[in-house]
Amino acid sequence: MMHPPDDLGPIVSSGHLASGAMPALSEFEFALTMTVHAFQRWMLRAMTAAGIPELTPMDVLVLHNVNHRGKAKRLADICLVLNIEDTHLVNYSLKKLERLKLLKSGRKGKEKTVAITPAGEEACKRYAQIREQLLVKSVLATGVDPARLSEIAAAMRSLSGQYDQAARAAASL
């Protein structure tokens, strides 16, 4: 009977990228890729369960961001908070969410703003309830330390800055 080797090395999807000076970064990228896709699947299924089946992951992110603190938001602010460079992608989501009566547009001075509607607020509330029941309970059951999860989130935010910096440098090549 064959046994797997004791040290399989880092778990990555691109061995050629893991062969450099920091294999752990490739490990992080593979985990991030898996997490992003799982998170997007989750958002769609949860929003569908909340009664809004026709949204994309971007739409769900935008809807929750506009609902955040109940204040009207500008397109530029939404893009900044979500770290989205292509404003047209967010703008497309805003128009779609407005068509679905989940958001409404307004003005603050000369600038266009968007705000949550009662229907949008209700959809976010149902999503939050489903999230508590299905996701939060499940994650809590793993025994993960919430403080450790916050540390991981802080490290990921920091790494996002490194990727942004590297992207700017690559764009100048």
Residue 4 domain-assigned?
no
C-alpha angle with apex 115: 123 to 60, nearest 5 degrees? 40
Residue 5 domain-assigned?
no
CATH number at residue 122: 1.10.10.10
CB-count burial class (<10 Å; 0-12, 13-18, 19+) for 56 = middle
Work out the pLDDT band at 5, boundaries 50, 70, 90: low
Residue 17 domain-assigned?
no
Residue ranges of the alpha helices (H) in the chain? Answer: 15-18, 23-49, 57-67, 75-82, 87-99, 118-130, 137-141, 146-171
Report the pLDDT value the prediction gives residue 74, as an integer from 0 to 100: 96
Residue 71 domain-assigned?
yes
Residue 18 domain-assigned?
no
Report the pLDDT value the prediction gives residue 26, as an integer from 0 to 100: 86
Residue 13 domain-assigned?
no
* Single pTM value for the model: 0.88
Report the pLDDT value the prediction gives residue 6, as an integer from 0 to 100: 60
Closest CA to 78 of 102, 120, 87, 55: 87
Domain count, the chain: 1
Tokens 């059951």, residue located: 141
Residue 2 domain-assigned?
no
- Asked if the model's pLDDT at residue 163 lies above 60, the reply is yes
AA letter at 53: P
Residue 52 domain-assigned?
yes
Residue-number span of the structural domain to which 95 is assigned: 23-166
Supply the mean pLDDT for the chain: 92
